Amino acid sequence: HIFPWNLSDNPQEAVIRTQKTGPGIFKQKERLFNKYFELSFLDIFKHPTFKWEVDNFLMGDSQEMIEFLIEKVYPTCIPLQDMPSELIPMRSELYKEKRERNPETDKYIQRYIQYYDETFGEGRYASKYGIPEKTTSNAKPWDWGTFKYGN
């Protein structure tokens, strides 16, 4: 993940500014998304593109992380309002317990490496790009049967 405030001369000030402006920017983008594509925030998770991303191991976030964002963070996304403090330990727990990332994202890169090596020669991907780090995640794999925001 990219943390843009790390590049700031005053990271603490940048984090506070992001906390104050992020929800308003998100709501504006959500409004424009609805205007141009006629999709609401929750419609995204029913869209075939989202399902394709998950089914093909391109969704970097775990189901648990997405559900946390939908159920806990999204409702509190109100311009100029801080996230309720009780959400901070919940979010922190996802990070500390390594449950943020989709544990199956390695399947995509492994499939790509196999294709690359079949096309350009065995071991060519690793010789050109190195061996990618394995995803470290304690999250469960995506399960459409339990994801209540999908189809």
pLDDT at 5 over 60: no
Q: For 20-49, give the secondary structure using H, E and C.
A: HHHHHHHHHHHHHHHHHHCCCCHHHHHCHH
- Entry pTM: 0.83
Tell me the residue ranges of DSSP E strands in 18-132.
none
Summarize pLDDT for 73-119 with one digit per residue, the tens.
999 888 878 878 888 889 889 999 999 999 999 999 999 999 999 99
Summarize pLDDT for 22-77 with one digit per residue, the tens.
888 888 999 999 999 999 999 999 999 999 999 999 999 999 999 999 999 999 88
Domain boundaries, the chain: 40-129
5-44 b/e (C-beta count within 10 Å ≥ 16 → b): eeeeeeeeebeeeeeeeebeeeeeebeeeeeeeeeebeee
Q: Is 83 helix (H, G, I), strand (E, B) or coil?
A: coil
Predicted pLDDT at 2: 55
Nearest 5°: phi and psi at 22?
-55, -50
Which residue, among 53, 77, 23, 27, has the nearest Cα to 150 in the 3D structure? 53
Q: What's the length of the chain?
A: 151
